[in-house]
Amino acid sequence: MSESIEELKKKIKIQNDIIKGYEKVLRLNEQELENADEIIRMYETIIQYSGQELKNVKEAFDATSIVTNLSRDELITAMNRIKELELTNKKLREESLKFQS
């Protein structure tokens, strides 16, 4: 015939236990999602920071490159000027030797 009240109470208890288990799993899943969101935000922050660092490094490299090129150009100009002065001195010595003779 129909089930006894005790059997129905047992079934209700089992169903309540199952529901509590599902609720617990749901809370754990929600916590995992929150953790995943936090991890994603952290990675986004790291990526943003890394991008800025990369930009800063590139700017520093570009600045160093410009300074190096300027220094190189200045050195070449100075070396050319020294050669000109040495050539002028050599000519002046030759002229002075002509007058001494």
- Tell me the pLDDT tens digit for each residue of 29-71: 999 999 999 999 999 999 999 999 999 999 999 999 988 888 8
> What per-residue confidence (pLDDT) applies to 1?
52
3 Cβ neighbours under 8 A, 6+ residues apart: 11
- Tell me the pLDDT tens digit for each residue of 15-36: 999 999 999 999 999 999 999 9
Please give the angle made by the CA atoms of 88, 91 and 94, to the nearest 5 degrees.
150
Burial 38-61 (b: 16+ CB within 10 A, else e): eeeeeeeeeeeeeeeeeeeeeeee
